[in-house]
C-alpha cells in the first residue's frame, strides 16, 4: 500500500491530526488515497519565527528519512511539508524521487492562477520576512499585494480559535479592500480550520494551503 506522508514541522500532535483530516476531504480514502499525519520528533509546538523555521527543516528531513528507510509493505507515494515556509522542501526533493509538495508553494500557485493578484493573511509577524522571501523565491512577487497580519501574540490566538478566525477575517478584508487582492492565502498549516471557515465569507477566493497542497498531490498522483 502507498500513502501520502503529511509532515507537520511542529511537534503539536493535535495540529497534525487536524491538517491530515482537512487533507482527507480532498485526498479521500475511497479514491485510493491514504493520508498519514507525521509529526516531527523535536522542536517547538508552533513555528513563530525564522530561527524555528530554519531548525524545522532538519526535523522534516529526519522524519522523511525514517519513512523512506522503513522496511514494511507500505511505501510513501508523496510527501507534503505542512508549514507555510516550506522548510526542507528543496532538500527533500534532492533525496527522493517521490513527489514533494510544500503547502506554501501549492497555495501561492493556486492563488496566482490566471494572473490574479493575491495577498496573504496570517498570525505570525516573526515570519513576515520569510514569507515574503518565499513568495519571491517562487517567482510570485509581481502579482503579490503583500502580507496582512493579525494583532496579538500568535500563540494566544492559537489557543482561542474563534477569535483567531475573526482576526484573520479582518486581515483578509484588508488584503481585499486596501491592497486590491483578487485572492487571499491563509498563511499557515495550523490555521487550517480558520481557512475552512473563511472560504465563503468574501467575494474573492480564500485559499487554505492544506487543501491546496492536497489538490496538488492529487494532480501529481493521477
pLDDT for the residue numbered 77: 96
Residue corresponding to grid cell 485526498: 27
pLDDT at 157: 96
Query: What is the SS3 assignment for 36?
Result: strand
Residue 126: C-alpha distances to residues 6, 180, 213 (Å)? 24, 24, 23
* pLDDT of 70: 81
Do residue 48 and residue 111 come from a single domain? no
Residues 192-216: b if buried by 16+ CB within 10 A, e if exposed: bbbbbbbeeebebbbbbbbbbbbbb
58 has pLDDT over 90: yes
| Per-residue model confidence (pLDDT) at position 110 | 97
Domain that includes residue 128, residue range: 105-208
Q: Does residue 117 sit in the same domain as residue 200? A: yes
pLDDT of residue 222: 87
Q: Stretch 28-57: mean pLDDT, rounded?
A: 96
Q: How many structural domains are present in the chain? A: 2
The mean pLDDT value of the chain amounts to 96
Q: In which band, very low, low, confident or very high, does the pLDDT at 161 lie, cut at 50, 70 and 90?
A: very high
C-alpha cell at 206: 480564500
Same domain? For 22 and 41 the reply is yes
Question: 65 and 153 share a domain?
Answer: no
Angle at 144 between CA 183 and CA 18, to 5 degrees: 55
pLDDT one-digit tens code per residue, 167-194:
999 999 999 999 999 999 999 999 999 9
Same domain, 117 and 34: no
Counting residues of the chain whose pLDDT is more than 70, the rounded percentage is: 100
At 163 the pLDDT is 97
Reported as a pLDDT band with limits 50, 70 and 90, residue 72 is confident
Burial class (CB in 10 A: 0-12, 13-18, 19+), 29: exposed
> Residue 3 has which C-alpha cell?
500513502
The pLDDT assigned to 82 comes to 98
67 and 116 share one domain: no
Give me the CATH number covering residue 143: 3.40.50.12500
Instruction: Compute the Cα dihedral for 104, 107, 113, 115 and give only its sign.
Output: negative
Inter-residue contact 104 to 176 (CB < 8 Å): no
pLDDT, one tens digit per residue, over 96-146 is 999 999 999 999 999 999 999 999 999 999 999 999 999 999 999 999 999
Which of 217, 222, 152, 213 lies closest to 186, judged by CA?
Answer: 213
Claim to verify: residue 95 and residue 21 sit in the same structural domain: yes
| Same-domain status, 20 and 6 | yes
Asked whether 185 and 111 are in contact (CB, 8 A), the reply is: yes
Of 141, 106, 109, 122, nearest to 187 (Cα)? 122
Amino acid at each position: 500500500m502507498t500513502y501520502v506522508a503529511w509532515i507537520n514541522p511542529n511537534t503539536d500532535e493535535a495540529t497534525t491530526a487536524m491538517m491530515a483530516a482537512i487533507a482527507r476531504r480532498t485526498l479521500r480514502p475511497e479514491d485510493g488515497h491514504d493520508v498519514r499525519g507525521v509529526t516531527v520528533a523535536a522542536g517547538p509546538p508552533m513555528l513563530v519565527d525564522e530561527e524555528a523555521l530554519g531548525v524545522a527543516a532538519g526535523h522534516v528531513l529526519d522524519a522523511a528519512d525514517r519513512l523512506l528507510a522503513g522496511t514494511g509493505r507500505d511505501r510513501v507515494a508523496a510527501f507534503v511539508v505542512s508549514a507555510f515556509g516550506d522548510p526542507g522542501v528543496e532538500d527533500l526533493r534532492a533525496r527522493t524521487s517521490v513527489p514533494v509538495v510544500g503547502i506554501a508553494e501549492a497555495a501561492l500557485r493556486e492563488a496566482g492562477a490566471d494572473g490574479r493578484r493575491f495577498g496573504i493573511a496570517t498570525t505570525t509577524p516573526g515570519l513576515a520576512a520569510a514569507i515574503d522571501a518565499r513568495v519571491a523565491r517562487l517567482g510570485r512577487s509581481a502579482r503579490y499585494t503583500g502580507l496582512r497580519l493579525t494583532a496579538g501574540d500568535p500563540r494566544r490566538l492559537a489557543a482561542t480559535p474563534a477569535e483567531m478566525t475573526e482576526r484573520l477575517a479582518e486581515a483578509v478584508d484588508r488584503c481585499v479592500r486596501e491592497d486590491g487582492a483578487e485572492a487571499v492565502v491563509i498563511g499557515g498549516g495550523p490555521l487550517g480550520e480558520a481557512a475552512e471557515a473563511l472560504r465563503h465569507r468574501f467575494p474573492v477566493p480564500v485559499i487554505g494551503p492544506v487543501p491546496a497542497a492536497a489538490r496538488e498531490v492529487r494532480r501529481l498522483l493521477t
